């Protein structure tokens, strides 16, 4: 009886071991890892593979494009693929810290390095004092390191220095126009005055009073214009109208936009007797439509103005001006002039908040929007 029981147990043990343990060849199959997609001899010469390029490794846009060979499919894939945390594989160089920000990232660079990936060495002791810190537009040196920024309508490039336009007609940029047969004529009345070719002063506007040419001005926003305070002093707002896209006053060229003035804001310290603080803002009833012939000027940041622009000796102004001695008959075309600006003691002037004027340290604003007729020191009319 005992011997029979032993044989039963032995047979059961054999059956169990046979079901648990398998042959060596079969076991090796379970432990084998499939080879990398498209791996092998001359791997890079083969057609792009999504698994190889973008799943087993992190790919860039060009590598993804090689896989799909189609722009639409690549963009559709890239919108979801870039949603992954880019900081998993830290792209920042020189011990930079990667900070993840919703489908994007920013490298926080250690001292002495800059750039999108902290790849550039930078000596920041001078900050903005030398060559504007390398910034194309504005340089701010108030913090531990200098920081570049751009005017409205531009965005900072990946190198942290250059600015690229984000809108069709950004401020301060003259659209590329075909060369015309207009000749550049010198204006002996204004020092350095020349004929401004159509489209080369797109921010220049004409201010009309009761339908008659009165003064010039410049666009700073689609619905804001800067002009001289003496032009609007003691005049009814309802009688004023701004003309954008104007060039030849004697011809209707089809580019003009006539927009009523909704509000006049003269500088609070304007003195009609001395002419000090001769600046005013005009809010337009409707925004101007920007085009090749209508674009705004760029307004500087306060710190940039105080450091850079206040030290500029010569400035370029444009306007129609008074064309006859003792009168105010304007020439038909706007004329830019390179004018000397007298040095000012006790402070400098700046625009704060974009479209408001602010006096700093007793600054004299009497030369704003003004010119110097040849042989005199009076202001440019209009």
Q: Check whether residue 233 and residue 293 sit in a common domain.
A: yes
Q: Which of 163, 167, 159 is nearest to 149 (CA)?
A: 163
Tokens at 369, concatenated = 């929007």
In a domain, 160, yes or no: yes
Tokens at 272, concatenated = 């009609």
Q: Check whether residue 205 and residue 291 sit in a common domain.
A: yes
In a domain, 310, yes or no: yes
The number of domains in the chain is 2
Q: Check whether residue 151 and residue 246 sit in a common domain.
A: no
Cα–Cα distance measured from residue 133 to residue 114, given in angstroms and rounded to the nearest whole number: 12
In a domain, 247, yes or no: yes
Spacing of C-alpha 268 from chain mean position = 31
Q: Check whether residue 290 and residue 191 sit in a common domain.
A: yes
pLDDT in the model for residue 224: 96
Q: Check whether residue 319 and residue 230 sit in a common domain.
A: yes
Q: For residues 359 and 277, is the Cβ–Cβ distance under 8 A?
A: yes
List the CATH number of the domain containing 144: 2.10.25.10
Tokens at 329, concatenated = 């008959």
**Which CA distances in Å does 81 have to 37, 64, 104?**
19, 10, 12
Spacing of C-alpha 162 from chain mean position = 9
In a domain, 46, yes or no: no
Per run of 10 residues, the mean pLDDT along the chain (length 382 residues) is: 49 49 54 46 56 70 82 79 68 85 78 79 70 87 83 90 92 66 43 71 92 91 94 94 88 90 94 90 96 91 76 75 44 52 36 29 32 39 49
Maximum CA extent, the chain: 142
In a domain, 13, yes or no: no
Q: Check whether residue 236 and residue 301 sit in a common domain.
A: yes
List the CATH number of the domain containing 332: 2.40.10.10
Question: Where are the alpha helices (H) located in the chain, listed in sequence order?
Answer: 2-20, 24-31, 50, 61-68, 71-81, 229-232, 302-307
Provide the domain limits for residue 140: 130-167
In a domain, 216, yes or no: yes
**Which CA distances in Å does 271 have to 53, 108, 125, 342?**
70, 50, 43, 19
Q: Check whether residue 134 and residue 256 sit in a common domain.
A: no
Q: For residues 83 and 101, is the Cβ–Cβ distance under 8 A?
A: no
pLDDT in the model for residue 57: 67
pLDDT digits (tens, 9 = 90+) for 154-201: 999 988 889 999 999 999 888 655 444 444 444 434 444 577 788 888
Q: Check whether residue 343 and residue 285 sit in a common domain.
A: yes
pLDDT in the model for residue 6: 47
In a domain, 294, yes or no: yes
pLDDT digits (tens, 9 = 90+) for 317-326: 777 766 433 3
């Amino acid at each position: 009886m005992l011997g029979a029981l032993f044989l039963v147990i032995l047979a059961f043990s054999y059956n169990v071991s046979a079901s648990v343990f398998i042959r060596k060849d079969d076991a090796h199959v379970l432990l084998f890892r499939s080879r990398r997609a498209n791996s092998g001899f001359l791997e890079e010469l083969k057609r792009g593979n999504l698994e190889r390029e973008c799943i087993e490794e992190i790919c860039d846009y060009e590598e993804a494009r090689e896989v799909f060979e189609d722009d639409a499919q690549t963009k559709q894939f890239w919108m979801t693929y870039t949603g992954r945390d880019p900081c998993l594989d830290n792209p920042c160089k020189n011990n930079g810290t990667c900070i993840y920000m919703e489908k994007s990232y920013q490298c926080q660079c250690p001292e002495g390095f800059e750039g999108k990936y902290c790849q550039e060495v930078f000596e920041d002791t001078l900050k903005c004092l030398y060559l504007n810190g390398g910034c194309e537009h504005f340089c701010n040196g108030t913090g531990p390191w200098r920081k570049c920024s751009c005017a409205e309508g531009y965005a900072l490039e990946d190198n942290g220095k250059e600015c690229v336009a984000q809108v069709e007609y950004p401020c301060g940029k003259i659209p590329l126009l075909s060369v015309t047969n207009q000749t550049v004529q010198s204006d002996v009345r204004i020092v350095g005055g020349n004929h401004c070719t159509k489209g080369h002063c797109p921010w220049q506007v004409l201010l009309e009073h009761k339908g008659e040419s009165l003064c010039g001005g410049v666009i700073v926003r689609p619905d804001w214009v800067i002009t001289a305070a003496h032009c609007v002093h003691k005049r009814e707002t309802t009688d004023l109208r701004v003309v954008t896209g104007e060039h030849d006053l004697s011809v209707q060229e089809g580019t003009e936009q006539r927009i009523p003035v909704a509000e006049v804001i003269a500088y609070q310290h304007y003195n009609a007797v001395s002419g000090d603080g001769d600046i005013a803002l005009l809010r337009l009833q409707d925004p101007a439509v920007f085009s090749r012939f209508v674009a705004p000027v760029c307004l500087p940041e306060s710190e940039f103005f105080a450091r850079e622009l206040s030290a500029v000796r010569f400035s370029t102004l444009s306007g129609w001006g008074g064309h006859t001695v003792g009168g105010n008959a304007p020439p038909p075309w706007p004329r830019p002039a390179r004018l000397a600006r007298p040095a000012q003691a006790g402070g400098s002037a700046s625009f704060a908040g974009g479209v408001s004027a602010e006096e700093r340290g007793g600054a004299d604003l009497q030369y704003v929007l003004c010119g110097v007729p040849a042989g005199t020191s009076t202001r440019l009319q209009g």
